[in-house]
Amino acid sequence: MTSRSCLTVILAAGEGTRMKSELPKVLHMIAGLPIVAHVAKAVTGAGGSDIALVVGKGAEKVEAAVRTIAPHVSVHEQTERLGTAHAALAARDAIARGYDDVLVVFGDTPLIETAALAQARARLADGADVVVMGFRPAVPNGYGRLIEKDGRLVAIREEKDASAEEKQIGLCNGGLMALRGKSALSLLDRITNNNANGEYYLTDVVEIANAGGQNVVAIEISPDNVIGINTRAELAEAEAIWQNRKRRDMMMAGVTMHAPETVFFSHDTLVESDAILEPNIVFGPGVTVARGAVIHAFCYFEGAKIGANANVGPFARLRPGADLAEKSKVGNFVEVKNAVVGIGAKVNHLTYIGDATIGAAANIGAGAITCNYDGYNKHLTEIGANVFVGSNTSLVAPVKIGDNAYVASGSVITANVPADALAFGRARQEIKEGRAIELRARYAAAKLAKKAD
Ligand code: UD1
Ligand code: MG
């Protein structure tokens, strides 16, 4: 990567009224990460981690979202919304610090990719003063057209001002720009609001720079990169594009997916190679899957760690703190929360494991439940290595089951079980020989008596 210094100005002062939401537009989520944080992530990848954030409504929350990605972000309030150039100038102090490159990006374009930003910076490094990020939409209507001459960008013509010939141009303005840091402020300062909308347009930079004999160029990036989110419908479309990119990346990195279109990732999901993901799996935030693990269909995970060659599902739910060791097995209708399932341990059917540790090679029978909550506090269940817990057992925490112990099915375990012991925690079964014959005879006699009445 280049050693040139870079400031990114993220414009996020828009109100986003079309979202019809209490939440600022840029805080709506894609893959569990706010829109504006996606932008911050992409610019950070392109070396633009010095971020100047221009905000309006909901400033603190927007700042916090960016801070998770770029801890040193500076925040600049745009009190009046007078256009994109006016917004960029709200970050005057930051731009004045002096950078080689200044990127101006929109806070509502979550699909912008590091590669596109890096490409714009590369053109600055090659001597351009202004780089405009262009794209070819399927239908160019409504976008500013990029007018080029001899490899230079001479103007951005808005749709309403364009001639019939200019309207034939397919290359449009994506809105994002890269400016040579030394001249950025003087260019922005020369922009006026002398237009139909009375707004300060960032796009005017192109003509001003040309008039000053500067080198202005356009690059072409894929249309996905500049999709802006204005409505919930566009949010869903962007989510779909993000998911498709992630699925593709996963498969390229060696993850098998039988029906990739049915698997949904979080922004931070990590899956190692040779893992197999069957259809219909939802990853919430904070999940890692190690190599060779097999995830069967219909699972829901969040905050969970799945070890190498583990086998999970179908229909498993892993909640925060679930930590499945290598070769462990968590089967159908099992919920695991804040619990370690040891190496090779099995929790195969219809079980709740919460606030627990399960030792290596232990076997937890169908319907076993850790009773971790007494209505006020959570308590720990510690199950040793090689323990066998019979079906339909309640383990009332806090409780410990020692290594190699055996718990009879149907037990309610309220006291610790020593290692190697057998715990039998239920009423003993009674047998009354012949009593069933006696019972049937009595019922049959009663029935006859009733008929005779
Ligand atoms: C802009 C471009 C247009 C381009 C289009 C691509 C300008 C003048 N026009 O238009 O050529 O084709 O993007 O989508 O740049 N913002 C502020 N404060 C303001 C105004 C805007 O922070 O005063 C922020 C918005 O929150 C948003 C971004 O700037 O994130 C872009 O503003 P928007 O109003 O969407 O610009 P467009 O009209 O779409
Ligand atoms: Mg827009």
H, E, C per residue of 227-270:
CCCCCHHHHHHHHHHHHHHHHHHHHHCCCEECCHHHEECCCCCE
Ligand 1 near 76 CB (within 6 A): no
The torsion of the CA quartet 340, 346, 349, 354, rounded to 10 degrees, works out to: -10
> What average pLDDT does the segment 109-114 reach?
97
| Local confidence band at 158 (pLDDT 50, 70, 90 cut-offs) | confident
Q: How confident is the model at residue 184 (pLDDT cuts 50, 70, 90)?
A: very high
Average pLDDT over residues 4-18: 93
| CB contact at 8 A, 156 and 145 | yes
CB-based contact 143:159 (threshold 8 Å): yes
Strand partners, 388: 363, 406
Pocket test for ligand 1, best of 53, 86, 89, 106 (most atoms within 8 A of CB): 106
Model confidence at 93, in pLDDT bands (50, 70, 90)?
Answer: very high
Average pLDDT, integer, range 21-25: 92
- Rounded to the nearest whole angstrom, what is the distance from the C-alpha of residue 228 to the centroid of ligand 2? 6
How close are the terminal C-alpha atoms of the chain, in Å?
100
**Helix, strand, or coil (residue 414):** coil
Q: Which ligand is nearest to the CA of 35?
A: 1
What is the rounded distance in angstroms from the CA atom of residue 177 to the CA atom of residue 116?
Answer: 11
- Average pLDDT over the chain, rounded to an integer: 96
Residue 86, ligand 1, Cβ within 6 A: yes
User: pLDDT grade, residue 1 (50/70/90)?
Assistant: low
Q: For the chain, how are helix, strand and coil distributed in percent, rounded to 5?
A: 25, 30, 45
Kindly give the pairing relationship between strand 152-157 and strand 145-149.
Answer: antiparallel
At 189, give phi and psi (nearest 5°): -65, -20
Percentage of the chain lying above the pLDDT 90 cut: 93
* Residue ID of nearest Cα to ligand 1 atom 32: 84
In 3-state terms, what secondary structure has residue 395? strand
- Apex CA 398: angle with CA 394 and CA 402, to 5°? 80
CB of residue 54 inside a 6 A radius of ligand 1 = yes
Pocket test for ligand 1, best of 79, 84, 195 (most atoms within 8 A of CB): 84
Cα 399 from Cα 343, distance rounded (Å): 21
225 lines ligand 1 (CB under 6 A): no
**CB contact at 8 A, 297 and 279:** yes
The answer to whether residue 267 is catalytic is: no
Q: State the catalytic residue, choosing from 38, 72, 86, 349.
A: 349
Task: Give the span between the Cα atoms of 116 and 280, in whole angstroms.
Answer: 32
84 ligand 1 Cβ < 6 A: yes
pLDDT category at 48 given cuts 50, 70, 90 is confident
- Using DSSP's 3-state secondary structure scheme, residue 223 falls into helix
pLDDT tops 60 at residue 35: yes
Distance 84 CA to ligand 1 centre (A): 5
pLDDT in tens, 421-438: 999 999 999 999 999 999
- On the question of pLDDT at 59 being above 90, the answer is no
In this structure, what are the phi and psi dihedrals at residue 242, rounded to the nearest 5 degrees? -60, -45
Q: How far is CA 359 from CA 179, 346, 447, in A?
A: 59, 10, 56
CA distance 226 to 337: 39
Q: At what angle do helices 35-45 and 114-125 cross, to 10 degrees?
A: 40
For residue 57, is pLDDT > 90?
A: no
- By the 8 A CB rule, do 121 and 104 touch? no
Q: Which of 86, 77, 76 is nearest to 193 (CA)?
A: 86
d(CA 162, CA 179): 25
CA distance 122 to 353: 53
Which amino acid is located at 228 in the chain?
Answer: G
Residue 190 has pLDDT above 80, yes or no: yes
DSSP structural state of residue 448: H
**pTM, whole model, 2 decimals?**
0.93
